Chains A and B, each alone.
Chain A
């Protein structure tokens, strides 16, 4: 899957979690800008893992700040699994 497509699907998921926030983009910071607490972030990550059929290791989760960071991790893990 293309990076841009992954990003779009992540953004669509975040719109569901925070329907009140109008513009979410690649540079949006998931915790700070969307004010999700750690439980909400965990639920969201689990749903992303389901959606893309991957498991994101916790040390990588810790490095994710923006939507783009997450999209890149998803892309890399997705490719690694197909390889």
Chain B
């Protein structure tokens, strides 16, 4: 009898995936060489699963700023902003983000996970209603559980289902907050935000969008799906992370609503944890400036995403419905997916494996995330390797398919 007995089932599943070197859930890199290359088990691999959308983790200006900050301000803040005080950089980053999104208020959190945990557990309370997309990220579900609002789900990216559920709540008192994501992290599909915003307006609810995977990716200025869909005025809260396109760690929420600042002394995942260290604040500010200034990064990112999505699709593999920097290949058998993943790593391409039930539609996924820093040759190498392994495993016929027409993100 052990306190860990309750995990027996999980342990079995985990162990069945192979020993440490071959287990997709215990990957440990020997070295990271650049935004797109690392060494894994002594083998050089292309990093195609790191959410490093703009490739800014080795941006020289960001590194210089981080070094300068660590030398002048030290390695950590050793406390919370509420109890132990903010540094100038915290406020400066909040002003930068507010200006970037064209909103009055911003709160920075220590991770994106905590931003969702904090916002969702605080801004709605007892007697209020949270209406979540059923494919929401774990941090959204966890934030919902931490708070006291009544939580219901609508069918993934289905504005009609959302409408139906809000209609049932029509005469029920309390605030209603709808939560959706810009780009969904598993399949790279884009939310029908214009339609969701229309439902929100008609039904008098609030709307929060998590732009974790779409900030710096979608929109003319990189402000995410709300900008791309032309509905920024309808989105009351935007949540995001620094751990993807901004290449560091941290999270934030921006809003324009009066009274927002009270959250600084009400939101526990903001108050009761240490604030971000100066080096992180410095590199994040630098990355945000670059994201804002350098539109070429987004153009290159979309070109790379189109190349990978189109290439895999032309092979005859089943990829997600939209072209976005998250490109996932759906397979049928988990065992085959694990073998496929190992063969990709052995061939020099690292990406993510996602197994049901952590995937939509109960199918295993090989999940790639494209970076602006990938070269066309790296993407082509990945596509070729997918083809070779797919044919070896009997998933693909001996001859590649003809390229099919595809749907572009620009069409949302």
List chain A positions with a Cβ less than 8 A from chain B: 37-40, 42, 46, 53-59, 81
Residue contact A58 to B362, C-beta cutoff 8 Å: no
Q: Please indicate the chain B residues that have their CB under 8 angstroms from the CB of A53 in the complex.
A: 168
Interface hit among B110-118, B147-155, B201-209, B235-243: B147-155
Residue of chain B at shortest CB distance from A53: B168
Interface residue from A37, A42, A58, A81 paired with B151 (Cβ < 8 Å): A58
Q: Please indicate the chain B residues that have their CB under 8 angstroms from the CB of A55 in the complex.
A: 152-153, 165, 168-169
Residue of chain B at shortest CB distance from A46: B155
Q: Please indicate the chain B residues that have their CB under 8 angstroms from the CB of A58 in the complex.
A: 144-145, 151-153
Write the B350-368 contact mask toward A (1 if CB under 8 angstroms, else 0).
Answer: 0000001101111000000
Q: For the complex, what is the distance from the CA of A4 to the CA of B359, rounded to whole Å?
A: 35
Residue contact B357 to A38, C-beta cutoff 8 Å: yes
Q: Please indicate the chain A residues that have their CB under 8 angstroms from the CB of B273 in the complex.
A: none
Residue contact A39 to B357, C-beta cutoff 8 Å: yes
Q: For the complex, what is the distance from the CA of A53 to the CA of B164, rounded to whole Å?
A: 9
Residue contact A46 to B357, C-beta cutoff 8 Å: no
Number of B interface residues in the complex (CB < 8 A): 17
Q: Please indicate the chain A residues that have their CB under 8 angstroms from the CB of B359 in the complex.
A: 39
The answer to whether A39 and B144 touch (CB under 8 A), given A57-B152, A58-B151, A58-B153, is no
A56, A58, A81: residue with the most chain B Cβ atoms closer than 10 Å:
A58
Write the B146-184 contact mask toward A (1 if CB under 8 angstroms, else 0).
Answer: 000011110100000000010011000000000000000
Give the Cβ gap from A60 to chain B, nearest Cβ, in Å: 9
Interface residue from B151, B165, B356, B360 paired with A59 (Cβ < 8 Å): B151
Q: List 26 A-B contacts (CB under 8 A).
A: A37-B356, A37-B357, A37-B362, A39-B357, A39-B359, A39-B361, A39-B362, A40-B362, A42-B153, A46-B134, A46-B153, A46-B155, A53-B168, A55-B152, A55-B153, A55-B165, A55-B169, A56-B152, A57-B151, A57-B152, A58-B144, A58-B145, A58-B152, A59-B150, A59-B151, A81-B168
From DSSP, what is the main secondary structure of chain B's interface residues? mixed
Residue of chain B at shortest CB distance from A57: B150
Give the Cβ gap from B94 to chain A, nearest Cβ, in Å: 32
Further 20 A-B residue pairs, CB within 8 A, beyond A37-B356, A38-B357, A55-B165: A39-B357, A39-B359, A39-B360, A39-B361, A42-B134, A46-B134, A46-B153, A53-B168, A55-B152, A55-B153, A57-B150, A57-B151, A57-B152, A58-B144, A58-B145, A58-B151, A58-B152, A58-B153, A59-B151, A81-B168
Q: For the complex, what is the distance from the CA of A22 to the CA of B55, rounded to whole Å?
A: 54
Q: Please indicate the chain B residues that have their CB under 8 angstroms from the CB of A56 in the complex.
A: 152
Q: Please indicate the chain A residues that have their CB under 8 angstroms from the CB of B134 in the complex.
A: 42, 46
A38, A39, A55, A57: residue with the most chain B Cβ atoms closer than 10 Å:
A55
Residue contact B356 to A39, C-beta cutoff 8 Å: yes
Q: Please indicate the chain A residues that have their CB under 8 angstroms from the CB of B153 in the complex.
A: 42, 46, 55, 58
B145, B153, B169, B356: residue with the most chain A Cβ atoms closer than 10 Å:
B153
Residue of chain B at shortest CB distance from A58: B151
Q: Please indicate the chain B residues that have their CB under 8 angstroms from the CB of A39 in the complex.
A: 356-357, 359-362
B152, B169, B360, B362: residue with the most chain A Cβ atoms closer than 10 Å:
B152
Q: Please indicate the chain A residues that have their CB under 8 angstroms from the CB of B362 in the complex.
A: 37, 39-40
Give the Cβ gap from A41 to chain B, nearest Cβ, in Å: 9
Q: For the complex, what is the distance from the CA of A19 to the CA of B86, rounded to whole Å?
A: 60
Write the B181-219 contact mask toward A (1 if CB under 8 angstroms, else 0).
Answer: 000000000000000000000000000000000000000
Give the Cβ gap from A81 to chain B, nearest Cβ, in Å: 7
Residue of chain B at shortest CB distance from A40: B362
Residue contact B168 to A54, C-beta cutoff 8 Å: yes
Q: For the complex, what is the distance from the CA of A28 to the CA of B303, rounded to whole Å?
A: 52
Q: For the complex, what is the distance from the CA of A81 to the CA of B169, rounded to whole Å?
A: 9
Give the Cβ gap from B35 to chain A, nearest Cβ, in Å: 33
Q: For the complex, what is the distance from the CA of A59 to the CA of B145, rounded to whole Å?
A: 8
Residue of chain A at shortest CB distance from B149: A57
Q: For the complex, what is the distance from the CA of A24 to the CA of B134, rounded to whole Å?
A: 27
Q: For the complex, what is the distance from the CA of A42 to the CA of B362, rounded to whole Å?
A: 11
